[in-house]
Structure 1
Amino acid sequence: MRQYRPLLKEIELLSKKLDKLQERAYNVPEVLGKVTGSSKDFPYTEEHITVRMDEPKESDEIRSMMRINERRLDKAEAARLEIEQFIAAIPDSTDRQIFELSFLEGKKQREVADVVGYSRGRVSQIISKYVKD
């Protein structure tokens, strides 16, 4: 629950990081490389053809970093969604408001108590009722 705000920040940072990696991927220098193929006509002899391609080492590194960050982003978004679904599943409206204010908006329990009209101690009890650390 307390990870919600840091998860939002992590999702934002990972999205920016992926955008930068995508930009780097577009700007990978091209090099000439040789590939082996066969001629179009019979007897289909082996030919070595020069082609233009992205610099392999840098391109592989960028793709690897993108995969790692995409997995991290997926995990962070799944954790965020799990927290939001947990809060949405709370049956009591006031309890749900307490969780939204406390965890989704990051307010302190004293501020939450003022909004919902409870004491800070009661807000703490309600949170403890649903969340067992």
Structure 2
Amino acid sequence: MAPPTPRAVVLLPIQPRYATPILEGLKRVEFRKRAFRREVSHVVVYSSNPVKQVVGFFDILGIDEAPPAQLWRRYSRVGAILKEDYDQYFSRCEGGVAIQVGKVHVFAKPFPLGDIAPEMRAPQSYAYLSSHAFTKIRGQRTLVT
């Protein structure tokens, strides 16, 4: 019997106005237009401009794919996003994804992507991380685990 395929880890750039509520436990889903192509176990949160730092990571409880109207009905209370911003984000999209946030790990001291690998840059939508990179990230001191 073959061993199970390990799940991937992604680096996800998230605007600070949405990253902060994730870290504070107020935002329990992250909405995206497209699903990951691999099965993913963890999301490393990169708080985008103007913060530009890796601020924490979370376990994924599940991923729900559905039309945006259905996702809104299911997750609007835990999405920490205004309806007009949600509608604008999903305009012209027939489907969407709700990434369900599990256990959150907040770094005591956020750090730049270059601390993971000197050549690393923020992805446009997301990037898969190597197991070596995630091991390095997990070694950072966290405040909340």
Greater helix fraction, Structure 1 or Structure 2:
1
Higher relative contact order (CA 8 A, sep 6+): 2
Q: Same fold (TM over 0.5)?
A: no
TM category, shorter: under 0.3
TM-score w.r.t. structure 1 length?
0.22
Greater strand fraction, Structure 1 or Structure 2:
2
TM-score w.r.t. structure 2 length?
0.21
